[in-house]
Amino acid sequence: MASAMVTDVSTSEALMVGPHSSNSSQKGKVSSGQPKITFRRIPVPAHRMTPLKNSWMDLYVPVTSRMNLLMRMNLVKKCVELKMPKVNVENSTSTTSEGGKAKQAKPPPEPSALQKCADFVAAFLLGFEVRDALALLRLDDLYVERFEVKDVKTLRGEHMARCIGRLAGRNGATRFTLENATRTRIVVADTHIHILGSYANIRVARDAICSLILGSPPSKVFARLRAAAARLN
């Protein structure tokens, strides 16, 4: 899963303070139903630093505007950090006047927003396009499955190179055929394979990829794939 790259950093700082704390009167306005402040750190591989820099705003805007989270790049630790903002329930429902115009405060983020955004950023860092990874924010039944060629069959040298060539096809034709037939998105990064889609579609795509790794002819794999895709539809 994409979330395997994600690390929980801190859950120790709570929004509510106990009755014996000296700051309890100051923070008593915050709703007791709010979860503890949590952070997520997504490590950025060295080869994805340049794509991340070029697509930063495409990632930043959905996370901050649509999901109402805080997001920043930690250049020291080479990771993307996500944070649930502190939400005061009284202020979130009230309006403020600036220049004579009423302004509605941002609603608090959904409980699942942090996990969705972490999966979204992690999927991009795995090699998926931003427009494909955005589906993780809109839909709840999408996942990312990852495995390696050696998990299916042990190959070395030229045998591994030929296997990767069978998976990609000429100019990516085989990969595009698998994606269109199974309604998934597939990334082949060296010997690592990443599949983005629903659970049922990922299973069909994974079985087809495993057959190609084991040496089945593409024509035979595509015939079985069309039959399986027809059953799904």
Query: What CATH number does residue 71 fall under?
Result: 3.30.1370.10
Q: Are residues 202 and 131 in the same domain?
A: no
Q: Are residues 128 and 148 in the same domain?
A: no
CA triplet 118, 137, 194: central angle to 5 degrees? 65
Residues facing 74 on adjacent strands: 79
Q: Are residues 56 and 123 in the same domain?
A: yes
The whole model's pTM is what? Answer: 0.75
pLDDT digits (tens, 9 = 90+) for 27-74: 444 444 555 657 899 999 999 999 999 999 999 999 999 898 999 999
Reading phi first (left if > 0) and then psi (alpha if -120 to 50, else beta), residue 190 is in left
Residue 162 lies in a domain: yes
Q: Are residues 78 and 31 in the same domain?
A: yes
Query: What residues make up the domain containing 149?
Result: 143-232
Residue 208 lies in a domain: yes
Q: Print pLDDT tens along the chain (233 aa).
A: 444 455 555 433 322 233 333 344 444 444 445 556 578 999 999 999 999 999 999 999 999 998 989 999 999 999 999 998 876 655 444 455 455 555 566 777 777 889 999 999 999 999 999 999 999 999 888 999 999 999 999 988 899 999 998 898 888 889 999 999 899 999 999 899 999 999 999 999 999 999 999 988 888 988 988 888 778 76
Residue 99 lies in a domain: no
* Mean pLDDT over the full length of the chain: 80
Does residue 189 contact residue 196 with C-beta atoms inside 8 Å?
no
Q: How many domains does the chain have?
A: 2
Q: 79-83 and 70-74: which strand pairing?
A: antiparallel
